[in-house]
């Protein structure tokens, strides 16, 4: 990738640099070449994309910004994820810091957030996010529900540190604890929750080599590798939910598109009910939801 850094676009206007960057990224096989080039040019110039789009295309770009842009384009052409180059990604309308230590938040995961928000209002609640990564799920839920508090755990201490920075950035740090550890192992055995959420690693190990280079070469394999059948992460999450959910508490976990039936079976076997698989905007199975029965309430209602 460093070898590609020497490219020179031979243009120094905004319009010329945009055109050259788009062409370079398109030639590298990047579908979102135009958008990515604009975002990188805006980043190199210290502007928002909106601001860039209303700037005169004939504007001369200063040499330092042009050099930054050319280096960024070369890295993106080498399939470094855009979020790593600009250091952040939007998720559910908020900006999250992203480093190579965390999975880049994905739009599909907003399906999980919506599945939770649809079921639960702002009454005080304690939630647990297993494999929190950037904190996208936990911190979005805390931002959307000011009455909630939660704990996020990640096996990677570096990921937990990124999530902690995001908690401060989003102004929810006083209601979030972010710790490093193996699933729910760091927690006191008696600690229970009203909601357990997770985007566990769910890619079958044998399929990792076939993922896009951005994912395969640059994202943490710990956040992707779901074991031989892709369901090892979900099994750990379901087991933790079995230990940690209060009666009436909910589980919501992200799954792979072809894992709906097997995921629902795992959740049912753990004794949860109201089990449902929900689809993302592309119509693919994406989230499994379940609820721990509440015998006390069933009695009162009968």
Contacts with ligand GLN by CB under 6 A lie at: 106, 199, 201-203, 215, 224, 254
Name the minimum Å distance from CB 37 to ligand GLN.
23
Tokens of 134: 């950037």
Distance between CA atoms of residues 148 and 56, nearest Å: 46
Minimal distance, residue 223 CB to ligand GLN, in Å: 6
Residue placing its CB nearer to ligand GLN in the complex, 61 or 153: 153
In sequence order, what are the beta bridge partners of 90? 95
Q: Is residue 83 within 8 Å of residue 104, measured between CB atoms?
A: yes
Q: Rounded to the nearest whole angstrom, what is the least distance from the CB of residue 280 to ligand GLN in the complex?
A: 10
CB neighbours (10 Å) of residue 110? 19
Nearest residue (CB) to ligand GLN, 21 versus 133: 133
CA 67 from centroid of its chain's CA atoms? 30
Residue pair 152/138 in contact by the 8 Å Cβ criterion: yes
For residue 302, how many other CB atoms are within 10 A of its CB? Answer: 5
The CA distance from 82 to 21, in Å, is: 13
Q: Supply the minimum distance, in Å, between the C-beta of residue 270 and ligand GLN.
A: 20
Whichever of 194 and 219 has its CB closer to ligand GLN, that residue is 219
The answer to whether 196 touches 130, Cβ cutoff 8 Å, is yes
Q: Which is nearer to ligand GLN, 201 or 260 (CB)?
A: 201
- Which residue is at the shortest CB distance from ligand GLN? 202
Rounded to the nearest whole angstrom, what is the least distance from the CB of residue 160 to ligand GLN in the complex? 17
Distance separating the N- and C-terminal Cα atoms of the chain: 67
274 CA to centre of own chain: 26
Residues in the chain, total? 302
Beta carbon nearer to ligand GLN, 73 or 203: 203
Place of tokens 């004794």: 271
Residue 116 or residue 215: which is nearer to ligand GLN going by CB?
Answer: 215
In the complex, minimum distance from the CB of residue 106 to ligand GLN, in angstroms, rounded to a whole number:
6
Q: What is the nearest approach in angstroms of ligand GLN to the Cβ of residue 218? A: 11
Nearer Cβ to ligand GLN (181/227):
227
């Amino acid at each position: 990738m460093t070898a590609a850094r020497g490219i020179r676009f031979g243009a120094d206007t905004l319009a010329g640099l945009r055109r050259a960057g788009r062409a370079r990224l398109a030639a590298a096989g990047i579908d979102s070449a135009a958008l990515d080039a604009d975002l990188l040019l805006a980043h190199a110039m210290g502007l928002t994309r909106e601001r860039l789009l209303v700037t005169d295309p004939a504007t001369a770009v200063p040499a330092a910004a042009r050099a930054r842009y050319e280096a960024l384009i070369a890295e993106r052409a080498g399939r470094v994820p855009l979020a790593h180059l600009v250091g952040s990604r939007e998720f559910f309308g908020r900006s999250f810091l992203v480093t190579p230590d965390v999975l880049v938040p994905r739009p599909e995961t907003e399906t999980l957030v919506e599945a939770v928000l649809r079921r639960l209002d702002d009454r005080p609640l304690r939630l647990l996010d297993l494999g929190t990564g950037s904190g996208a799920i936990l911190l979005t839920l805390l931002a959307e529900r000011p009455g909630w508090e939660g704990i996020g755990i990640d096996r990677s201490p570096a990921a937990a540190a990124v999530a902690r920075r995001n908690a401060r950035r989003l102004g929810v740090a006083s209601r979030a604890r972010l710790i490093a550890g193996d699933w729910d192992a760091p927690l006191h055995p008696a600690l229970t929750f009203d909601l357990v959420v997770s985007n566990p690693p769910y890619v079958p190990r044998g399929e990792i080599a076939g993922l896009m280079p951005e994912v395969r070469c640059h994202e943490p394999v710990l956040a992707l590798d779901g074991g031989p059948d892709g369901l090892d992460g979900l099994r750990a999450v379901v087991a933790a939910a079995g230990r940690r959910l209060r009666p009436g508490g909910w589980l919501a976990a992200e799954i792979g598109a072809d894992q709906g039936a097997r995921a629902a079976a795992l959740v049912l076997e753990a004794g949860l009910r109201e089990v449902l698989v929900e689809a993302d905007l592309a119509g693919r199975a994406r989230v499994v939801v379940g609820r721990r029965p509440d015998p006390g309430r069933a009695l009162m209602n009968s």
